[in-house]
Amino acid sequence: MKTDGLDLASRSGWPDDLRHLLERYPREVWTGHVNLGDMARFWLARHEMFRELSQALVQAAGALREGDVPPDQFRQWFAPRLNFLLGELQTHHMIEDRQYFPVFVRAETSLAKGFDVLEADHETIHHALDDLARSGQMLAGAVDGGTPLVTRAADGFATVSDGFMKILLQHLADEEDLIVPVILDRTEAGLGIG
Ligand SMILES: [Fe+2]
Ligand SMILES: [Fe+2]
């Protein structure tokens, strides 16, 4: 897929040719806008959940490393939430790729390149999710192994999760900047997604 140098690891927002609708509908006007319907609110709430949950996982790993949380309690809290994040993100991306992106591209063909970029992001994030899952499982498995093992696993997770957070947050923000203005401009009913 052609992403014109807009790959997730190196970009910081959209270039001018993909910002014309965002200029008309900047973030400041989103909340409370009459065209921000139920679907958009639900979808933005999912993004917020992904942000909060991934941040909470990072913080929990840090607390384990510092000895601020009992190992058993950590594992019980951490493992199901990591699995939940992995599963929910995969489902979320699948629905976006198959169901929503085609609708937005049809409605606003001038943004087609942006949706190609977002789809490529999903691939990148899936690879990063594999790394995150591996690193998280190692951490959850290390809690019985004593302090040096926990410290090493927590350091490894911190490195992997830092990289993951960076690309996840960039993707969520750019995706919102591309999609919400289309919804505000055309309405959910007009797009057939309300
Ligand atoms: Fe996405
Ligand atoms: Fe998304």
Cα distances (Å, whole numbers) of residue 66 to 61, 70, 78, 151, 166: 9, 10, 16, 8, 23
User: What domains lie within the chain, and their CATH numbers?
Assistant: 36-191 (1.20.120.520)
What is the Å distance from ligand 1's center to 66 Cα? 33
Q: What is the mean pLDDT of residues 139-156?
A: 92
Q: How many residues does the chain have?
A: 194
Portion of the chain with pLDDT greater than 90, in percent: 94
What is the Å distance from ligand 1's center to 150 Cα? 33
* Residue whose token pair is 């493992």: 79
What is the Å distance from ligand 1's center to 88 Cα? 11
Ligand found nearest the CA of 125: 1
Q: What is the mean pLDDT of residues 17-42?
A: 97
- Structure token digits, residue 191: 């797009």
> Each residue of 68-115: pLDDT tens digit?
999 899 999 999 999 999 999 999 999 999 999 999 999 999 999 999
What is the Å distance from ligand 2's center to 147 Cα? 37
What number of H helices and E strands is found in the chain? 7, 0
Instruction: Report pTM.
Output: 0.95
> Each residue of 126-143: pLDDT tens digit?
999 999 999 999 999 999
Contact status, residue 1 vs residue 120, Cβ threshold 8 Å: yes
